[in-house]
Structure 1
Amino acid sequence: MMAQWHPIAPGEPLRAGDQGPRIAQLRKLLQMFGDYNGHPGPVTANNNNPERFDAGLQLAVESYQRRHGMAVTGVADKATLKELERPPVDLARQLEVNAKRWDKLPDKPGKRYILVNVPDFRLHLIEQHRVVLSMKTVVGKSSKRTPDMTSKVVSVVFNPTWTVPRSILLTDLLPKARNNPEAMHRRGYRVVKYGTNTTTPISDKSIQSAARGKATLRQISGPGNTLGRVKFIVPNKQAIFLHDTQAQSLFEHHHRAFSHGCIRLQQPEELAYALLGPQGWDRTRVAQATTGDESITIKVANPPKLFIAYFTAWVDGLGKVHFRPDIYHRDN
């Protein structure tokens, strides 16, 4: 393949209707990568020009963008052209690096398990070797990376409270509490002493106690809670869990590395229903549990394994190769 591969000549983005030699170069590259499969429908003199950006080439660009985790526009924009500059030897090396990561997963993960692929920003629930639920995720930003992990989802918490980790307390919330304690109180934040469940209103004295490491902030359950309406308990030492979020607009972004390490879910109620359905929980009961302010914890019978992994390349069930950006710069 390396002998056949030649990068596209530099130039402007390419889109449907454009013509020129760079179009022919784009078509040849995408044909080599397996994305271009010819023109959809009958071939005529009008759509048999290799230097014209036709419908078949647009479908090929969309296929390439989808495989590389890019926004699917059908336009060979600046980002797409830059990705196409990567020689096959680089892609082969990326596959090799990720093959070693796949080898670390168990051969028999169980009949039902959850896989979160951090660079893909997605969660998959797999049952009997089939993906039965898939959703977008928000993962840790580069400075607060979501770690690799093997655990289980043991409980679902409806209307959770949030006890603020000390790292977030010091860098983010304590300054806000000092500047505007009334606003923090309205958002449901209270001071809680370590080792107790006793909460007190935010005051200069309680803020000083938190700053000295004797207390932290806890946000009460309810519609404004940072964790949203659903949280999934995952035993681990890094205090990582899966949860709902108030910041739904983040799911509109294509690259979603914004959290402090925990994994935010686009459809947490669907995951709750999928896990608790065998225990008699239908969607109506799940929806009812997420209303009000009462915090409810339900243990998951036969808790599924959870794998949080970092794969920037893989081959899907149809034999297509997928690549994702190396958001934490681990491939090198």
Structure 2
Amino acid sequence: MSFVSRARSSVFAATFVAVSASVALAGTSGTAFQMAVAESTISNTAIAEFYRKNAFDPVWVGSTPEHEARRAALIKALSTIDMHGLPRARYDVSALIAKMQDARTTRDLGLIEAELSQIFAKYANDIQSGVTSPSQIDAGLVRDVERRSTQEHLKRLVAGDGDEYFREIMPQSRQYRALMKQKIALETLIEQGGWGETVPVTKLERGDTGANVIKLRNRLVAMGYLKPTASPNYDDVLLAAVQAFQTAHGLEPDGVAGNGTITEINRPVSDRLKAVYVALERERWLPEERGERHILVNQADFSAKIVDDGQVTFETRAVIGKNTHDRRSPEFSDEMEHMVINPSWYVPRSIITKEYLPKLQANPNAVGHIQITDRGGRQVNRGAVDFTQFTARNFPFSMRQPPSRSNALGLVKFMFPNKHNIYLHDTPQKSLFAREVRAFSHGCIRLAQPFEFAYALLAKQEEDPKSFFHRVLNTGKETKVNLENPVPVHLIYRTAYVGPKGEVQYRRDVYDRDRKIWEALQKAGVALPDVQG
């Protein structure tokens, strides 16, 4: 505990000892303490019920060491909440301290008791589950945030001692701790003036020399990608530094400082700090239990990973939904239950009516690789149907692409059944994985190495997963293979994260979601320190 926290704690102790005799009456029916608590919690049914069930025993204002420890822990937590990228302005700590110091009667204690519980409940919710609500920010944020009830927070607090529960309710992931460390580093950089002069947006490459090369070199030195040097030449050392920067920012590491690379190099420290604040909030939204083995799809990074006991054991490039309102991949968590080898593609209704119906109206033989089926699953004779009589609303048929190498889903899909109809799958469009920005799908996640992904999943239940997979594949038949142990899947979107070796990574906000989250955080009271470049 800091000196300030200890000093405050001693003030509170002295204040409450003076009226501690009144606390003994708190559990007595009809006391001023009980009435004050009931009166103050009338609009908060959860807290009111907690006190009724516990005979109005005080959580905060007693004179025991346990009560003193809780008070000190709460004030310490509220005073340092901005360390987590959360708004201190939501909690008027100074006014709270003043009220505690001014307490003189049993009724005063009851009012303070209720206020402390209400403030604690708000703090606990903010620090554990986030200060914003995803669904109110963007239509693609369909994540269900796990929030403990107020009564559960209070019960667990009382069952612990001192700082114990305050430590417990903070996100415990290594990613969260690493992001907090990066937040502090960036705030220090801002205090020191940032990364210095920006670089003119032009193309610079190996062999170039001159003032712009020096500016590029100086900027990369300030960012930590290059050791200090006065050389005006774009040499191999500078090329390697540019490649390192490109890798850390999801850019093609060709060593050429083109418009895209220099634009990212010129981003101010404040932009990166905003990304870290947003990443901390997103980390608070994630489930507390991710799964010892889980699948992590970072849409902003265009990647899919399998994580075992905190270590990435498999990684592949991914293609995500196109950046249009109806195709962006959503963010949520679920459980992968099975894979389908040699899958059929059952065309989504939206694609049928928006893309295929107009083509069929112009030419009944269009999209001939797709079967048209009736409600009974029977194939429809295209020549016997006048497609012009139908609209998107009354089109009565379904469409299906049978298993094949040219199938839109490729040769395997990975299912975690959900209402958003999102899954991971193979694709015949392999060339897309070479692109730097890979947002091309209708919303599902395409994998560059789907077979290897399947082997990794099957390794937990098959002695020779590769042979098993290909034995099924070679039948050519659509086959469902259950995972004996379902695997949690987390579809996330992280423009700032820390890699397994502690390397800080930044990505572009391809869906503009981080900007919206930052605006929501600002409305909640989050603010950056004085901004520099």
Q: Same fold per TM (> 0.5)? A: yes
**SS of equivalent to 2:457:** helix
- 1:312, CA displacement in angstroms? 0.9
Question: Which amino acid in 2 is paired with 1:74?
Answer: G
**SS of equivalent to 1:226:** coil
Once the two structures are superposed, the pairs formed by residues 303-318 of structure 1 within 5 Å of their partners are: 303-318=486-501
Question: Which amino acid in 2 is paired with 1:112?
Answer: R
- Which of the residues 357, 365, 378 maps onto 1:198? 378
**Residues 37 and 56, structure 1, Cα contact 8 Å, conserved in 2:** no
Normalising by structure 2, we get a TM-score of 0.57
- 1:266, CA displacement in angstroms? 0.9
Question: What is the CA deviation profile of residues 55-109 of structure 1, one whole-angstrom value per residue up to 9, with x for unaligned ones?
Answer: 2211111111111111111111111111122111111111111111012123431
Question: Which amino acid in 1 is paired with 2:262?
Answer: L
Match of 1:26 in 2: 216
Higher relative contact order (CA 8 A, sep 6+): 1
- Which of the residues 462, 468, 485 maps onto 1:285? 468
Question: Which amino acid in 2 is paired with 1:119?
Answer: A
Higher strand share: 1
- 1:206, CA displacement in angstroms? 7.6
**SS of equivalent to 1:308:** strand
Question: Which amino acid in 1 is paired with 2:380?
Answer: T
- 1:328, CA displacement in angstroms? 0.6
1:159 equivalenced with 2:342 (yes/no)? yes
Match of 2:367 in 1: 184
Distance 1:150 1:4, change over 3 A: closer
Distance 1:223 1:18, change over 3 A: closer
Question: Which amino acid in 1 is paired with 2:379?
Answer: T
State the alpha-carbon separation in 1 of the partners of residues 310 and 201 from structure 2: 44
More displaced, 280-289 or 75-84?
A: 280-289
- 1:204, CA displacement in angstroms? 4.7
- 1:278, CA displacement in angstroms? 2.5
Distance 1:176 1:289, change over 3 A: farther
- 1:222, CA displacement in angstroms? 2.0
Which one has the largest radius of gyration? 2
- Which of the residues 302, 307, 321 maps onto 1:121? 302
Question: Which amino acid in 2 is paired with 1:291?
Answer: N
**SS of equivalent to 1:301:** strand
Distance 1:60 1:201, change over 3 A: same
Question: Which amino acid in 1 is paired with 2:274?
Answer: R
- 1:113, CA displacement in angstroms? 0.4
Question: Which amino acid in 2 is paired with 1:36?
Answer: L
Q: Structure 1: any 5+ residue segments left out of the alignment?
A: 39-47
- 1:138, CA displacement in angstroms? 0.8
**SS of equivalent to 1:271:** helix
- 1:180, CA displacement in angstroms? 4.1
**Residues 201 and 259, structure 2, Cα contact 8 Å, conserved in 1:** no
Question: Which amino acid in 2 is paired with 1:269?
Answer: F
**Residues 336 and 486, structure 2, Cα contact 8 Å, conserved in 1:** yes
Match of 2:403 in 1: 221
State the alpha-carbon separation in 1 of the partners of residues 263 and 476 from structure 2: 49
Question: What is the CA deviation profile of residues 125-184 of structure 1, one whole-angstrom value per residue up to 9, with x for unaligned ones?
Answer: 111211111111111011111000111111110111111111100111222334444453
State the alpha-carbon separation in 1 of the partners of residues 467 and 363 from structure 2: 39
Question: Which amino acid in 2 is paired with 1:200?
Answer: V
Match of 1:60 in 2: 241
**Residues 137 and 263, structure 1, Cα contact 8 Å, conserved in 2:** yes
State the alpha-carbon separation in 2 of the partners of residues 201 and 159 from structure 1: 25
Match of 2:203 in 1: 13
**SS of equivalent to 1:331:** helix
State the alpha-carbon separation in 1 of the partners of residues 476 and 381 from structure 2: 18
Match of 1:44 in 2: none
Question: What is the CA deviation profile of residues 185-206 of structure 1, one whole-angstrom value per residue up to 9, with x for unaligned ones?
Answer: 3x1x222234x43333434528
State the alpha-carbon separation in 1 of the partners of residues 380 and 476 from structure 2: 18
Once the two structures are superposed, the pairs formed by residues 1-332 of structure 1 within 5 Å of their partners are: 1-2=189-190, 3-10=193-200, 12-37=202-227, 49-143=230-324, 144-182=327-365, 184-185=367-368, 187=369, 189-194=370-375, 196-205=376-385, 207=387, 212-280=394-462, 281-332=464-515
State the alpha-carbon separation in 2 of the partners of residues 206 and 133 from structure 1: 50
Distance 1:210 1:268, change over 3 A: farther
State the alpha-carbon separation in 1 of the partners of residues 201 and 468 from structure 2: 56
Identity within the alignment, % = 35
State the alpha-carbon separation in 1 of the partners of residues 472 and 386 from structure 2: 33
- 1:318, CA displacement in angstroms? 2.3
**Residues 140 and 258, structure 1, Cα contact 8 Å, conserved in 2:** yes
State the alpha-carbon separation in 2 of the partners of residues 174 and 75 from structure 1: 45
Higher helix share: 2
**Residues 225 and 245, structure 2, Cα contact 8 Å, conserved in 1:** yes
Count of matched residue positions in the alignment of Structure 1 and Structure 2: 320
- 1:225, CA displacement in angstroms? 1.4
Normalising by structure 1, we get a TM-score of 0.90
State the alpha-carbon separation in 2 of the partners of residues 152 and 266 from structure 1: 21
- 1:306, CA displacement in angstroms? 0.3
State the alpha-carbon separation in 1 of the partners of residues 232 and 412 from structure 2: 53
State the alpha-carbon separation in 2 of the partners of residues 74 and 249 from structure 1: 22
State the alpha-carbon separation in 2 of the partners of residues 273 and 209 from structure 1: 44
- 1:27, CA displacement in angstroms? 1.9
State the alpha-carbon separation in 1 of the partners of residues 511 and 194 from structure 2: 32
Distance 1:210 1:156, change over 3 A: farther
Match of 2:176 in 1: none
- 1:308, CA displacement in angstroms? 0.4
